[in-house]
Amino acid sequence: MNNKKVAILIIYIVFMIVNSLVTFSFESNLWKYDKYVHFFEFFILGILIINIFLDKLSKMIIIQSFIAVMIIGIFDESIQFLIPSRIPDIYDLIFDILGGSCGVFLLSIITMNKQKNG
């Protein structure tokens, strides 16, 4: 495991937690992009998680990375449940999981194809 990769992942997760704790005040028309933000935020998370394990990539690592994305998504929405000015949303969680899964699977597929083709 590369310590720099782990450090970047931890910093990113801390950023996500802080982002969940902070209340933003935007015009209502900007919230129409909320699901895209959730997808992209977790897409990056999925890439960062699987990036740590690229040298020993296996189906089990991919599944564990997917589970980690799900747990972090649930934790992220749970934080919003505890903050009075924030509202947890099941659709946000769905887009979190979809984004993270796409990040995990995309980088996994790219890496496996490179390893396969030499």
pLDDT 10s digits, 6-30: 999 999 999 998 888 876 665 566 6
- 105 in a domain, yes or no? yes
- 84 in a domain, yes or no? yes
- 81 in a domain, yes or no? yes
Question: Domain of 105?
Answer: 52-113
The whole-angstrom separation of Cα 50 and Cα 107 is 7
- 68 in a domain, yes or no? yes
Token digits of residue 61: 């690592």
Q: How many domains does the chain have?
A: 1
pLDDT tens track for 64-74: 999 999 999 99
Residue type, 28: S
- 79 in a domain, yes or no? yes
The whole-angstrom separation of Cα 96 and Cα 70 is 8
The whole-angstrom separation of Cα 104 and Cα 86 is 28
Q: Per-residue pLDDT averaged across 41-47, rounded?
A: 97
